[in-house]
Structure 1
């Protein structure tokens, strides 16, 4: 702090001690608000100490200057090197983050509107595009590294680890951006979080940052970020009101689903993409999106008991997710007392074939449509008389815990009514290539005994199968 005060005094500035930030262990960087003198408003004075003889690392300064973007915290002035108390001191004036960082925003408010989330993501994408086009890559895309300047504009500030643009660095930036988008979209409170994330994914598939912006703008209109504390009580739903607690529940379900899918099955694929890009750098424009490929290969994490051939079958590219299915009337045959008392072998066989054909309809690309087919097929198994476990073979994922649960419930009183999702509203929470988490909201007027549930579906060679059910 003494070095910062010394430099400020020499320049005729005043420093605001309460806003001082000390970084490093031991402290090697101090950030403090400076004002007065000839400064036009407040600026951030960053002071770094280094041992004598150690060359200064100016990569982050060079990147800030080269980017020339309002979405990258810029350099106001670079001050001459000084020697303070036997140590070399580098000082630079940066744009001041008047409204703090993204971590602070989310901590104060707990969530954001979809338009605000779009504004943040568009700003980050623009900052990355500016860095990449100027030959730099590798900024930190964390909540503390994304700040809001005086006009509320989101900007990248964590540039300590930037380096020259390479194919590997472009891949890493795409991965980090998708991870950031996922974190932000799970904080969206108006029901459009997953659609916004789907738009980000669709843009990343095209391998260009402007494509990400175009994709986002087609889904959500940006709005000014509310940088003051807010309870978000005035949020109006786009489709229906969704509270932050529900967003939290979605995050928990996604986490549980990923646990059931054995963590991060796409990690090895990232290395494969990096190897490809090293051999053929020209492909980076189309292939620098590892997250999409990782999603497409999530099926490489097979369920226990699935065959090696099935597990190794690559899944088709996932369709854009986030849409809500329109409930359709499904006529479910209700067995009459006379027909259900004793079913002949032919009827049993017919029921098995019918369930298999219904589950076969789950071969569709759309996991929401597949979920409806799977639910209908499961319900037909529970209404068949007598109930038999083989009927569920084409519905449930072999080896998953749900097999034992559903088999045990076959024939139980009220089990069929609880599994009747005729006319239910289904919507996609999240998709990972060959796996999807689908929310099911029953029609209480038609199926009063059914409860809302979240369904984890996995796709095998024969189609989609139910792997887990979360209440």
Structure 2
């Protein structure tokens, strides 16, 4: 091996170089350029660090593979260092990636010609126990006649000789090959420019290929071929784009065969490309991006239709009515809560005063008191005339009566008595009830729990809510406070904070 020859073949140029090998285009000795591609070969030389086992595995896979749609080995030779080199037939007229780049769109028949033989070849390889390990637009090549074939053995592996049908669909290596092929097939199908009646079938096929659960089916290859040929008949693959011919064919003709309109010039663009004056390469890339977006939208729409198909229309109608009713109820509740928060109700006013005046207080003993049965009679308004003790009118007088009734309740350890001092759902009632229950359990009543109405002063009044503050006893830094709220039954204790 020297710079000009490898294993008796004259080198032409390097075709590719990777971390493990280098591929070189060569011509057999004794053949000239007049022989065309007949004398061309492709030699794969491996790097010294590549294990011999890996090389032999690749040779075995390529040797066992047979068919017109896989790259076959022409010969084996040895490099000067004794390492084997693989000699392949040269028949590549470009890769699938190059075809997708050069062609802005594909016909349905061309797509069938590309994908159908590859499905069969992949199935035959798997039947021989060979997994390619790499299926992509770069590993699919075309010969001069436009026939596709797999041309990469660097990642191939042999699992077992003629695996069983169960192993064919359960083996991870075979499943990965099918997943990669499905991805390639979706990309090819997305490049189709078809009539409107064919678009639905193409979208359904793409959705079926995208379903990973179908890959494990025992009839995946058969179903794939059936769905593919349902689109139409195969057509020869046009490997090079011919925009002038296609542009001329797109214009309607007169009866004498001449075009009804003169075609645009060779360098002119059409439709929106002419308006935007985009370069040809940019226009092709943008068209491809828009086409892919449209196909993805078709897939989503098709999947949504398939998901909704089993449900009857009446069920959807009832569900829509239920959702509308829930939305209306939520809106009414939200509006009601907003109106309630904006009105100066007794509860809101009481809580506002409690937050402003008692924010520095502890969360300890707070509560309301309710008057007993005997005291309640004193607080009720006489229907015949003036209210007793002015309880319904003057909060200061009402405070004295309420505190007196509360003291009686605490002295008698009667929770029922508290019902007329404070409402049963108020913090004051809860605190006083807890204090009485603690005394009944053996504890002592705190002296700080008693309030002296004579030392109370009004610190704030808002509507029917009055906040009182009491003199600070000795040894306390914060005075006691009490919130009085007027309701339908008159003044009641809402909450309080003991001195601390």
Q: Which interval holds the TM-score relative to the shorter structure?
A: 0.3 to 0.5
Which has the larger Rg?
2
Structure 1 length-normalised TM = 0.48
Which is helix-richer, 1 or 2? 2
Structure 2 length-normalised TM = 0.45
More relative contact order, 1 or 2 (CA 8 Å, 6+ apart): 1
